Chain A
Amino acid sequence: GAGVSQSPSNKVTEKGKDVELRCDPISGHTALYWYRQSLGQGLEFLIYFQGNSAPDKSGLPSDRFSAERTGGSVSTLTIQRTQQEDSAVYLCASSLRNPGATNEKLFFGSGTQLSVL
Chain B
Amino acid sequence: AQSVAQPEDQVNVAEGNPLTVKCTYSVSGNPYLFWYVQYPNRGLQFLLKYITGDNLVKGSYGFEAEFNKSQTSFHLKKPSALVSDSALYFCAVSRNTGKLIFGQGTTLQVKP
Contacts and interface: CB of A to CB of B under 8 A. Distances in A.
Interface of A: 31, 33, 35, 41-43, 45, 48, 50, 55-56, 58, 91, 93, 98-102, 105-111
A99 B51 CA distance: 10
A99 B98 contact: yes
A70 B69 CA distance: 40
Interface stretch (B12-20, B79-87, B101-109): B101-109
Contacts of A41: 104
Contacts of A43: 44, 90, 92, 102, 105
A102 B94 CA distance: 13
A100 B46 CA distance: 14
A105 B6 CA distance: 20
Given A106-B46, A108-B43, A55 B90 contact: no
B90 A100 contact: no
A47 B94 CA distance: 14
Given A42-B90, A42-B103, A56 B98 contact: yes
B49 interface: yes
B97 interface: yes
A82 B68 CA distance: 43
Given A48-B98, A108-B43, A100 B32 contact: yes
A58 B46 CA distance: 24
